[in-house]
A = this chain, B = another copy of it.
Amino acid sequence: MGSNRYEFIAGELRQQIATGGFSAGDQLPAESELTKLFGASRPTIRDALSMLENEGLIMRLHGRGNFVRHTSGQITYAADSLSGDRRAAVNAAIEVSVSIRETAAGKELASLLRTPPATALIEYAFLSHHMTFPYALARVYVPCDVARLDIPRASGSPLGDEVLDRLEGAGIHVANRASRVTARLPDAEEAWTLRIGTGTPVLGIERVSTNVAGRVVEASLLTLPGHSAEAVFTAHATTPAPDLEGAR
């Protein structure tokens, strides 16, 4: 494979994982063991393991060991239309826990929601688990004076769709929704929460929903591990008169 020592070792381990030599959930040999198996020093072994971790193939747990990840669930964030299929497509065996708290908008959130700083918000934090390990983090914010929604409970969607449904149910209709997508590294807290390495790319999605009056009624911050998530957007030209500005 690679010409470097650590790339070669990473390739070997990668192949053993792919071909079933190590299965999902298996613990890899201890790093001290791998140094003997490959005849390399520990930093070299660890460089190789870091590659696999950043690719999402293994999970490294301090004091416990290195484990092959369950590569099952690919999350798809779809925002085709407002009323259509915006559900996240996920596998079964999902556990979503929701925590709700009231907070005041910081500088960043205030800018996102276009409210004065310190505006009272309700935060709905969704953390999803699959096979006892987390794989998606969604924080949904609704200004207190827009709605105080009923508790969505532990529910189906890991991406906070429940809140959008309740908004609709409360007669608050979304006319416009903008999503800003970035690829970045997780901060320390996100990495801890999602059990990923600080070098694992994450897909960050900032979603802002506004009503017909242009008022922001909901904003969300989604953090998804890059190796198990994708976002899909579709644009149609078929609508009768969507283009207010003339075609070119």
Q: Which of A20-28, A103-111, A236-244 contacts B (4 or more CB under 8 A)?
A: A236-244
Q: Which of B82, B165, B212, B245 touches A84 (beta carbons < 8 Å)?
A: B245
Q: Which of A112-120, A137-145, A226-234 contacts B (4 or more CB under 8 A)?
A: A226-234
A54 within 8 A of B: yes
Question: Is A248 in contact with B184, judged by CB distance below 8 angstroms?
Answer: no
- Give chain A's interface residue range (CB within 8 Å of chain B): 35 or more
State the CA gap A82–B168 with chains docked (Å). 28
Interface string of A162-177 (1 = CB under 8 A from B): 0001001000011111
Question: Is B199 in contact with A181, judged by CB distance below 8 angstroms?
Answer: no
State the CA gap A246–B212 with chains docked (Å). 10
Q: Which of B178, B184, B199 touches A234 (beta carbons < 8 Å)?
A: B178
Which residues of chain B are near A81, meaning CB under 8 Å?
235, 237-238, 242-243
State the CA gap A240–B183 with chains docked (Å). 34
Q: Which of B177, B229, B239 touches A83 (beta carbons < 8 Å)?
A: B239
A65 within 8 A of B: no
Query: How many Å from the CB of A156 to the closest CB on chain B?
Result: 14
Which residues of chain B are near A203, meaning CB under 8 Å?
181-183
Which residues of chain B are near A101, meaning CB under 8 Å?
none
A63 within 8 A of B: no
A79 within 8 A of B: yes
Report how many copies the assembly holds.
Answer: 2
Question: Is A248 in contact with B180, judged by CB distance below 8 angstroms?
Answer: no
State the CA gap A244–B239 with chains docked (Å). 15
Question: Is B83 in contact with A227, judged by CB distance below 8 angstroms?
Answer: no
A160 within 8 A of B: no
State the CA gap A176–B233 with chains docked (Å). 11
A39 within 8 A of B: no
Q: Could you tell me which residues of chain A, from 69 to 88, have a CB within 8 Å of some CB in chain B?
A: 79-84
Q: Could you tell me which residues of chain A, from 169 to 204, have a CB within 8 Å of some CB in chain B?
A: 173-185, 199, 201-204
Question: Is B230 in contact with A168, judged by CB distance below 8 angstroms?
Answer: no
Which residues of chain B are near A37, meaning CB under 8 Å?
none
Q: Which of B181, B224, B240, B244 touches A246 (beta carbons < 8 Å)?
A: B244
- A181 and B237 in contact (CB under 8 A), knowing A83-B245, A214-B248, A242-B81? no
10 nearest A-B pairs in the assembled complex, by CB-CB distance? A183-B226, A183-B183, A201-B201, A183-B203, A233-B233, A183-B201, A181-B231, A82-B237, A83-B247, A175-B237
